Amino acid sequence: MNELYELTNPVFNTAKMTLTLLSAVGNEDSIAIEKALGFEQMPHVDAQGDEYALLKRIGAITIELRYALANRMIEQAGNRNVLDLACGYTPKAKYLMDRGYHYVGGDLPAVAEDMDRVSRELLGGKAIFRAADVTNAESVAAAAALLPEGPVTIDCEGLVAYLDKNEVAAMVKSIAAVLADRGGCWVTTDFESDNCFLVIAQAVSAGQGEKFLKLVESQVEKKTADAAHAPVFANNEEKIAFLQSMGLAVERRPITGVADMGLRTLYACTPEQRQAIAAALEKINVWVMTPDGAAKTAGTGTGGFAIDQSQDGDGLVMRLSGRLDSISAPELLAAFRAADGESAVKDVTADLQDLEYTSSAGLRVMLIMYKQLGQGHFRLLHVNDTVGAILRDTGFDQVFLG
């Protein structure tokens, strides 16, 4: 099943990279998790030699900073309940639980399964990990319900760059709904994360920060759906206005005190580099969002997914209903592979009349079928207005309907 998870959600490999980079800088909890899961070092990127080594160093500083900032923001928030969305493989659960927090981590099914095993082997089963798609309000609410009563701090790091416009809107609705119900806050560095990477890259690469940022952005594009989409927001003002429209108040806090955070990666920098990084980071902010009035209804489908399929010779009709997202997309790919394995499928018609929502993971599965079958042999039928709008926003209308 892990192969299906990786094909439908290849971004989860970046979560592995985060763990291996933290492990490489000597984070002992990360080393223990990496050993338990048997992960290899940093996954492939399009860089070699000195360029690769420098990219790895920039990445290590950025990841260690982001991890330390997330823990600091959670501690400053003051809530004892933590819902860590897109939790990845970091040792945040152990760090927080050692300090008396209640912790639930939500992520792609493959990550949740891995980290549930880590919890049993290394944490006495006390940390809770569940499959949760941030665009799926029911899965986010269900994960939050595993925490004790009281306000919740929601943490979400390293995710926004991988989401398109519709997914960001659905994610914010899901988070805002939990905060409206429970109280608390949402903390993240994601809304200015590009700036963090850029200033670090500028300091340690002799002014070649833009070059390395473009290299990373190209990797992000490969990990998202294969149709290019425009940036979700043009500037911070747009981001703030959008979040406020979703029922969230926004506070931006400058990144200060970097020299006192004990970052091992900064020890390897020259004094001039450390000074440049600290000074530049003070112009960048972490974001804290709190509920402000009624949250927008988190309406991107009921949460369930079903496939009703029929086959006539080498033609397959798949009638999809409910939500097609990172949790359910592997099911669709598995159904296609099973039908193709029993008798070679040459034509697929996907009936989307009752499909309530699709994320990039669902679009990626459709693209896999489209590429395997060839143009003219994968068709969409009865595309409803909601899904049609998603296809247009992501550019997939040109692929499937053009």
Q: Which pLDDT score is estimated for 284?
A: 94
Q: How far is CA 42 from the centre of its chain?
A: 18
Mean pLDDT, to the nearest integer, of 186-212?
87
Q: Which pLDDT score is estimated for 259?
A: 86
| Rounded distance between C-alpha atoms, residue 213 and residue 392, angstroms | 28
DSSP 295: P
| Whether residue 375 has pLDDT greater than 90 | no
Q: Which pLDDT score is estimated for 145?
A: 97
**Strand 184-188 with 152-156, pairing:** parallel
| Choice among 33-37, 80-84, 206-210, 216-220 with the minimum mean pLDDT | 216-220
Mean pLDDT, to the nearest integer, of 383-392?
93
| Whether residue 120 has pLDDT greater than 90 | yes
CA proximity to 84, closest of 140, 20, 18: 140
Beta bridge partners of 291: 248
Q: Which pLDDT score is estimated for 204?
A: 87
Mean pLDDT, to the nearest integer, of 144-160?
95
Enter the CATH code of domain 2-291: 3.40.50.150
Token pair belonging to 108: 């792609």
Mind listing the pLDDT tens digit for each residue in 42-79?
444 555 667 778 888 888 899 999 999 999 999 999 99
Enter the CATH code of domain 305-400: 3.30.750.24
Mean pLDDT, to the nearest integer, of 141-158?
96
Confidence band for 123, pLDDT divided at 50, 70 and 90: very high
Phi, psi of 199 (to 5 degrees): -70, -35
| Rounded distance between C-alpha atoms, residue 357 and residue 347, angstroms | 23
Torsion of CA 231, 51, 196, 171, to 10 degrees: 40
| Whether residue 230 has pLDDT greater than 70 | no
Share of the chain above pLDDT 90, in %: 63
Token pair belonging to 381: 């039928």
| Rounded distance between C-alpha atoms, residue 112 and residue 129, angstroms | 5
Mind listing the pLDDT tens digit for each residue in 265-278?
998 899 999 999 99
- Would residue 29 be called left, alpha or beta, if left means φ above 0 and alpha means ψ between -120 and 50 degrees? alpha
| Whether residue 165 has pLDDT greater than 70 | yes
| Rounded distance between C-alpha atoms, residue 24 and residue 332, angstroms | 37
User: Is 0.85 topped by the overall pTM?
Assistant: yes
Where in the chain are the domains? 2-291, 305-400
Token pair belonging to 204: 């340690």
Q: Which residues contact 259 (CB under 8 A, 6 or more apart)?
A: 266, 274, 278
Tell me the C-alpha to C-alpha distance, in Å, between residue 325 and each of 169, 257, 329, 370: 14, 39, 5, 18
Mean pLDDT, to the nearest integer, of 304-319?
93
| Choice among 46-50, 63-67, 142-146, 202-206 with the minimum mean pLDDT | 46-50
| Rounded distance between C-alpha atoms, residue 324 and residue 221, angstroms | 21
Confidence band for 7, pLDDT divided at 50, 70 and 90: confident
Tell me the C-alpha to C-alpha distance, in Å, between residue 36 and each of 16, 27, 89, 161: 13, 14, 11, 29
| Whether residue 191 has pLDDT greater than 60 | yes
Phi, psi of 332 (to 5 degrees): -65, -45
Mind listing the pLDDT tens digit for each residue in 324-363?
998 999 999 999 999 988 778 999 999 999 999 999 899 9
What is the residue-averaged pLDDT of the chain?
Answer: 88
Helix (H), strand (E) at residue 188: strand 184-188
Q: Which pLDDT score is estimated for 217?
A: 67
| Choice among 120-124, 172-176, 192-196, 211-215 with the minimum mean pLDDT | 211-215
Query: Helices 360-373 and 385-394: crossing angle, nearest 10°?
Result: 80
